[in-house]
Structure 1
Amino acid sequence: MTLFNRLKTAAGTEWSTYTGHSFLQQLEAGTLPKAAFRNYLIQDYLFLIQFARAYALAAYKGRTLADITQGLRGLNASVEETELHVRLCAEWGISREQMEATPEHPATVAYTRYVLDTGMRGDLLDLHVALSPCVVGYAEIGARLKPALQANPDHPYAEWIAEYSSEQSQQLAADAIAEIDALGERFLPESRFREVAETFATATRMESAFWQMGLDLGAAEQG
């Protein structure tokens, strides 16, 4: 079993909770309140800014040109991904400037700073493991939700599903998995597995908290 598969298996409960969250169930069915989706998008835009910083850190901590290139790829993908959020929020008349002026929710701060702190105090493997639930999980979710888009081209969240079910998203996830497996051979004595597995599980739990934030903000706005 590869390192990534071992990490995912060890965090089986956390991974199932993350990828099967009520936010996603409602999104797939097209019943997710627009207020929940809108608030999630704004926070995810702010989230991506911090994740771009984390990938820049990965490039800095790289010891080889391949390491640096992988970090740069993640940085560019994070920046490009913000354009989806800008387009979707523009439909509500929300500008990029308004998004950037929105305060970060505590769930956004907790998750992104955890990743950055993990990268600062750990090695390149620690950082990529902390980043992986996002890039790999979103691709897995996108692939699972793709049939809903195919069944209903007018799905209210069609553009979001199309983004994360795209070939580009799937390839980014595959590259992230391959990077973790390769870094495991360089940086992971077996005695460290439990520590790295806890990093993966913690980041995965924070993904679930991020979905819940969207639901909570949406409910508060509607209520």
Structure 2
Amino acid sequence: MSLAADLWAENADLAAVARAHPFVQGIGDGSLPPELFAGYVAQDAFFLESFARGYALGAAHSPDRAALDVFADLLAGVREELRLHEGYAARWGIDLAAVEPLPATLAYTDFLLATAALGGSGLTCAAMTPCMRLYAHLGQSLAGRAAPAYAEWVTTYTDPGFEELAATLERLLDGTAADTPAVRRAYRRAMELEVGFFDAAWRGGAESG
């Protein structure tokens, strides 16, 4: 088993929590209140901008040209994801430039950027892979039963192109990261922060008060 596959299996408990989360299930059955989804879109757009910077830092620290090219491709994928959020924002009147990040959002972005700035490529991949693999997993879990209101979200994460980006990052993780406690902690921490992000979205920003 590859390191990426082993890390994913090791964190199956958190993947299951995310999959069963009422926010995710509400996307699937259409019961999620639109205002909660709108708040999530705003927070996720803020997060994705930091995610893009994490990829840029990973590229800057790349050990070779091959890793540099992979990080550049992954960065392009985030830009496409941001366009989805910009489309939602335009339709729903969300001012992405005025987003105030919630504590859960800042906890995640601070973790990613600190890891990407101070760690090597392998540790950066360990911190960033869970987001990609989890969203591909969630999209696949909702495939074929998404409510019309959120079908575009599900389609984005079931797209073969997104799955390929997730697999590309996993291959980069396998190629650059050693199996160390630090790598395992980074992966686990990112998974915990993913669940925390959904918790905050489900509370509708109540934690900001």
- Shorter chain as normaliser: what TM range? over 0.9
| Structure 2 partner of 1:210 | 197
> 1:218 Cα deviation (Å)?
6.4
Q: For residue 32 of structure 1, give the secondary structure of its aligned residue in structure 2.
A: coil
Q: Distance in 2 between matches of 1:89 and 1:203?
A: 26
Question: Could you tell me the percent identity over the aligned residues?
Answer: 31
Counterpart residue identity of residue 58, structure 1: G
Is residue 2:106 matched to residue 1:88? Answer: no
Q: 1:170 corresponds to which residue?
A: 163
Q: Is the 8 A contact 2:123 2:183 kept in 1?
A: yes
Q: Which amino acid is 2:76 matched to?
A: N
Q: Which runs of 4+ in 1 moved over 4 A?
A: none
Q: Is the alpha carbon distance of 1:86 and 1:127 closer, same or farther for their aligned partners in structure 2, counting shifts above 3 Å?
A: same
Paired residues of 2:58 and 2:120 also in contact (CA < 8 A):
no
CA deviation string 1:40-78 (max 9, x = no partner): 000101111111100000100001111111111121111
* Superposition TM-score, scaled by structure 2 size: 0.93
Q: Is the Cα–Cα contact under 8 Å of residues 10 and 197 in structure 1 kept in the other structure?
A: no
Task: Please name the residue that 1:36 is paired with.
Answer: 36
Tell me if 1:138 matches 2:135: yes
Q: Which has the larger radius of gyration?
A: 1
The RMSD of aligned alpha carbons is 1.6
Q: Does 1:182 align with 2:179?
A: no
Alignment of 1:53 onto 2:53: yes
| Number of aligned positions between the proteins | 207
- Per-residue CA deviations over 1:136-155 (Å, capped at 9, x if unaligned) read 11111111211114xx6xx1
Tell me by how many angstroms 1:10 deviates. Answer: 2.1
Task: Show structure 1 runs of 5+ residues with no match.
Answer: none
Amino acid at match of 1:142: G
Q: Please give the alpha-carbon distance, in whole angstroms, between the structure 2 residues aligned to 1:84 and 1:53.
A: 18
Gaps of 5+ in 2: none
CA distance in 2, matches of 1:196, 1:177: 13
The answer to whether the aligner puts 1:200 opposite 2:187 as a matched pair is yes
Aligned partner letter, 2:99? T
TM-score normalised according to structure 1 size: 0.88
